[in-house]
Copies of this chain bind each other. A is one copy, B any other.
Amino acid sequence: MRAELVSVGTELLLGEITDTNATYISQQLADIGVDVYFRHTVGDNLGRIVQVLQGAMRRCDVIIICGGLGPTQDDLTREAVAEVTGRPLQRVPAAEQRVREFFAQRRRVPSESNLKQCMVPKGGRLLDNNCGTAPGLLVEHNDTVLIAVPGPPPEMRTMLDSDVLPYLRDHVAAAEGGVLFTRTLRLSDIGESTVADELADIISQQTDPTIALYASPAEVRIRLATKATDEAAAYQRLSKVEEQIRARLGSHIYGVDDETMPVAVGNALREAGKTLAIAESCTGGLIASRITDIPGASDYFLAGYVVYSNAAKTRLLGVSEEVIAQYGAVSEECAKAMAEGARRDSGADYALATTGIAGPTGGTPEKPVGTIFIAVADDKGTICEHFCWPGEREQFKARVAQMALNVLRKRIVGE
């Protein structure tokens, strides 16, 4: 099944916001086996939205439109769908009733623009919005399905997950005799080209499940996908290939599906019943922020120290001035002393420490920009790993955060 996505909003074309909705929708469609052939972005202009939709209707089976469903004059998605399908907008009485009750409770009367949100092209239906005011739209027109979801990311995601994806999954199953089942293996300490080389024969022989490789900072993902009507049969096929891959690269696989590195670290700590402290120099708090992005991190994360200055390394973590003078703040000795100091000061079971040179300045011939030391202290002692990965400042921080969490994870699980 072929799909196109249309993101609506002048603020996107001005680069005022990044279109993360398009990423999310693309991922979700890939996961259920809907192929996205094109994405388009268009401003709040009726003629141009209609132009994009007309083009897409000639090419594909499903069009997902994101944005332009609000109550203002700039919100034109509803009108555009009505125009390209030739279906007049009609009020949905049940939706109108809900809006009138909502306003009555607040002793107000809804305006015409509020009631505009209760309208749907004839023959279509509204999709409930459980975390905002703008309902979505779904119109089956000839051989094309047009679906519109609101632009605010939480509203879009909720509506996609609860209504749109189940609908499309059924649609795919009916049209193609099966839906897509996937498994993603997450790998660390290995590059994409090495993975490709190691699995070259498996990848070239494999047709079902399909195997695809993706890379992001300090991570490679292997995505297995198979189309099936029967879930058990699908997962059996996926597991068979997963086993083949694990036989070769198992030591690199740290997580499956949504188990990102901060989740994997959290799971390892929770299973071991252990706690964590983090001491960061060059990553500047990013590792702690990643760890605390995971709900429930307070179960295992005790404390973070952002010790950017040498004085702070000494004052907060007791790193001796001699160590810094003799070896430098970017050194194995300093990283280890930071980890040991953070463990001592916080009382955590594990302490992770990073120190390095993010750049753009501060590099030397012996320690160029990109130099990084990662130390972990626990009750068995203190280890340190050393890498050099120059890159843009924010990229460098992201990569080091991922690598550091992996060094920690391996220590916890005893790899």
Contacts and interface: CB of A to CB of B under 8 A. Distances in A.
A207 interface: no
Interface in A293-324: 293, 295, 297-298, 301-309, 311-312, 315-316
Contact of A27 (B15, B288, B298, B393): B15
Contacts of A304: 280, 284-285, 304-308
A191 interface: no
A407 to B, nearest CB: 18
Given A308-B303, A308-B304, A316-B345, A19 B22 contact: yes
Interface stretch (A39-47, A98-106, A163-171): A39-47
A39 B287 CA distance: 34
A250 interface: no
A136 B334 CA distance: 43
A315 to B, nearest CB: 7
Interface residues of A, number: 74
A309 B315 contact: no
Interface in A133-156: 153-154
A401 to B, nearest CB: 9
A28 interface: yes
Nearest to A309: B302
Given A16-B216, A295-B360, A303-B306, 16 more contacts: A11-B214, A14-B26, A15-B22, A15-B24, A19-B19, A38-B48, A55-B55, A154-B391, A284-B292, A285-B306, A289-B289, A293-B397, A295-B361, A298-B308, A301-B308, A304-B307
